[in-house]
Amino acid sequence: MPFERSEMQPIVYDPPPQLPTLDLRRIEGNALPAFPTGPAAPFDIPPEVMAAMAAMDLAPPFVPPAQSRATRFINLRGRGSHRGALVATFGGIDRMVVFESLLELHCLRMLLTDLSVVDIWDQPPLIKYRNIDGERTDHTLDYRAEYAGGRLVGFAVKPWKKVYDEDGKPTKFARNMARVRAAVGHEIRIVTERAFSRVQVQDAQIMYTWSRENDPHADAVVREIIATLRGTFPLRTIQDLSGLGGRAYGAIVRAFRDGLLVKAEHKRLDLDTLLQVVRHDH
């Protein structure tokens, strides 16, 4: 049996019933100061300039990514920490999305490979609530994803040991997340390092990298080949048939991301990975 496509979608650990059912900015020095959270201003290029460049078969000017919408100050310098930003494209706008740990980076890449996600807000507005000790406090989620249809899901990305104690019981943090969920009014998921496998993390990185590439010709050639294939075959078969060399690999990854291909084995995407075509016969 081939591995189901669902195994390659972001899989988030569902905590036991007593827990909530949790479904760059421009860098100024070493920190990210506050910036407006409204829509990015359009990059205004005179139409005559664009027309002249198109006539000369020149690439359009580089448009820098919009600033992150994070509402909390983030210091990008820290010993032993993994901090930075990825570029995400939603609504035709490139925007920097920040992360403060390697685990957050893994979670972000997983979300970016889910085509049902239409927007990701990093460090969304803080949520005021009363914790289990009866104190008024607040919490900022790491990410808030909006899915097609308008569904909102907040993500709290934390190490396993912060969610469970040594006896496997929910920690105070985990129990407070139920209060946060009630206060914010939409679904929240806790994500730990046990949320996804090494293979899923590796594939998410590959899909993110090649999703940033734009090669319509290679995409068209690869998809025509996929439509003719049957059975199980290694990824390199498509690359060899295409005659496009390395360009084909990125197109194959994008086809996999879009659900045209499924793995026949649980290993990272490489030239020898066995694949099958997903059929949508009626």
pLDDT band at 152 (very low <50, low <70, confident <90, very high): very high
pLDDT in tens, 112-151: 999 899 999 999 999 999 999 999 999 999 999 999 989 9
What average pLDDT does the chain have? 80
Mean pLDDT value across residues 26-34: 31
* pLDDT of the residue at 93: 84
Tokens for 29? 């020095």
CATH 3.30.420 applies to domain 213-277: no
Domain residue extents for the chain: 5-191, 213-277
Sheet holding 143-147, edge to edge: 117-122, 143-147, 152-157, 187-191
Residue 24: pLDDT above 70?
no
pLDDT in tens, 220-269: 999 999 999 999 999 999 999 999 988 999 999 999 999 999 999 989 99
pLDDT band at 30 (very low <50, low <70, confident <90, very high): very low
- The CA–CA distances, whole Å, from 199 to 80, 189, 237, 267 equal 24, 21, 21, 6
* Helix intervals (H) in 46-87: 47-55
Closest CA to 144 of 90, 198, 208, 73: 90
CATH class of 5-191: alpha beta
Fold match, 5-191 / 213-277: no
* pLDDT of the residue at 254: 95
Collect all residues with Cβ–Cβ distance below 8 Å to 170 and sequence separation of at least 6: 15, 16, 18, 19, 163, 164
pLDDT in tens, 47-64: 776 677 677 776 666 566
Q: Between 224 and 46, name the one with better pLDDT.
A: 224
Determine whether 18 is exposed, middle or buried from the number of CB atoms within 10 Å of its CB (0-12, 13-18, 19+): exposed
157-187 per-residue burial string, b: 16 or more CB within 10 A, e: under 16: bbeeeebbeeeeebeebbebbbbbbeebeeb
